[in-house]
């Protein structure tokens, strides 16, 4: 899996169904990425660094609301039915606060988990994908933060996997079928 495959996907995705925003035109510089790495005390995997400075970095992808109405306060439903999109956090200082990796990391750090840097979050799921200090990818579990789920995929494999999962949830949501 590579950045080329991610680019290829986004050249052909269904623009009628999905809302996609990226940092196109507001990419962080290599120096800004390096400064954040210096701040957290370790470097990102090369594949993520390449994505971080790419126009697709700082990615927001969601099923449009007309196809997947957003949940209302206190609405009850199956867990999957709240997972209508995903974000890959941005290192661009121009990104909105909710998309900035530095802010997501600071929140985790304030809670005592500075060794995890969140990079991808499925909207509606409180457990983000994170990089560890040794460059591994884990899923941080909010209910049991001392035990993380180890991921054996690369960054691009994780991103494509979560996009495919979103596509499957969208199909079930649009068809009104539960995931079994």
| Structural domain includes residue 61 | yes
Residue 147 confidence (pLDDT): 85
**CA dist., res. 150 & res. 164, Å (int):** 20
Residue 1 confidence (pLDDT): 52
| Structural domain includes residue 138 | yes
Residue 179 confidence (pLDDT): 45
**CA dist., res. 11 & res. 15, Å (int):** 10
| Structural domain includes residue 78 | yes
Helix axis angle, 30-40 to 101-110, nearest 10°: 0
| Structural domain includes residue 169 | yes
Digit-coded pLDDT (tens) for 34-82: 999 999 999 999 999 999 999 999 999 999 999 999 888 888 888 998 9
| Structural domain includes residue 16 | yes
Where does residue 134 rank: exposed (0-12), middle (13-18), buried (19+ CB within 10 A)? exposed
Give yes or no for a contact between 32 and 38, defined as CB atoms under 8 angstroms apart: no
**CA dist., res. 71 & res. 62, Å (int):** 13
Residue 175 confidence (pLDDT): 84
Which regions of the chain are under pLDDT 70?
1, 177-180
| Structural domain includes residue 168 | yes
| Structural domain includes residue 82 | yes
| Structural domain includes residue 180 | no
Q: What is the CATH number for 105?
A: 3.40.1580.10
Domain count, the chain: 1
Domain that holds residue 18: 3-175
Residue 177 confidence (pLDDT): 56
Give yes or no for a contact between 122 and 110, defined as CB atoms under 8 angstroms apart: no
Instruction: Find, among 49, 75, 73, 61, the residue nearest to 167 by Cα.
Output: 61
Residue 180 confidence (pLDDT): 45
Residue 118 confidence (pLDDT): 98
Instruction: Find, among 167, 18, 21, the residue nearest to 94 by Cα.
Output: 21
């Amino acid at each position: 899996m590579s950045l080329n495959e991610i680019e290829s996907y986004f050249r052909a995705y269904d623009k009628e169904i999905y809302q996609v925003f990226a940092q196109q035109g507001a990419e962080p510089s290599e120096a800004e990425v390096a400064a954040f790495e210096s701040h957290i005390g370790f470097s990102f995997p090369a594949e993520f660094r390449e994505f971080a400075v790419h126009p697709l970095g700082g990615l927001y992808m969601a099923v449009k609301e007309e196809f997947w109405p957003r949940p209302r306060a206190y609405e009850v439903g199956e867990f999957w039915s709240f997972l209508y999109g995903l974000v890959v956090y941005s290192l661009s200082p121009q990104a909105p606060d909710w998309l900035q990796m530095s802010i997501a990391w600071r929140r985790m750090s304030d809670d005592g988990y500075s060794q995890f840097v969140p990079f991808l979050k499925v909207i509606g799921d409180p457990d983000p994908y994170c990089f560890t200090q040794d460059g591994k990818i884990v899923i941080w579990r909010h209910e049991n933060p001392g035990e993380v789920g180890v991921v054996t995929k690369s960054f691009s494999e994780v991103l494509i996997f979560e996009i495919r999962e979103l596509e499957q949830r969208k199909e079930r949501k649009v068809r009104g079928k539960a995931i079994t």
